Amino acid sequence: MNRQDFESIVETYGADARNWPEAQRASITQLLAADPQARSILGREAALDAWLTTLEPPVSETLEARIQNDMLAALDAPVHALNAPAPAMRPLRDIAGSFAVALAACLMIGVIMAPDILNSFFAGDEMVLALDLVGNEFLN
């Protein structure tokens, strides 16, 4: 194992050896024994793990119990009851779907009609050529 692979594993799984992939623990241990820079990388990651642990907010036991009870109630509920949208949301969903279809239709019409609109606006190839000549005069 090289130092880059070791650093990638430690950054991914943390400094705790129990979290490292089982197949690579022996080669990681050998690298740590032979490479002082790998040991410093491990120390840096251990410090980061300790700092992140201090940032974890304490978990309220009542909140945890309420979440577990809600999950158990949801698991006991019939499947069709969980998948059905709320009655108040159905009209809003229908309106949003209609709006999306109308917007898609307008965009398609715009894409299809764009060449004809540009041609009529610029009055054919002569106007495009005149705009090109004027642009070249002012830009050069």
What the block records as the tokens of 10 is 């430690």
Distant-in-sequence, close-in-space partners of 4: CB < 8 Å, separation ≥ 6: none
Q: Is the pLDDT of residue 88 over 70?
A: no
Report whether 65 contacts 54 (CB < 8 A): no
Instruction: At 59, give phi and psi (nearest 5°).
Output: -90, 130
Find the distance separating the first CA and the last CA of the chain, reported in whole Å: 60
Residue with tokens 């309106």: 95
pLDDT of residue 76: 77
Distance CA 105, CA 111 (A): 10
- Per residue in 22-35, pLDDT (tens digit) is 999 999 999 999 99
Q: Is the pTM of this model over 0.85?
A: no
Higher pLDDT pick, 76 / 48: 48
Angle, alpha carbons 53-58-63 (nearest 5°): 140
Report whether 49 contacts 14 (CB < 8 A): yes
Q: Is the pLDDT of residue 77 over 60?
A: yes
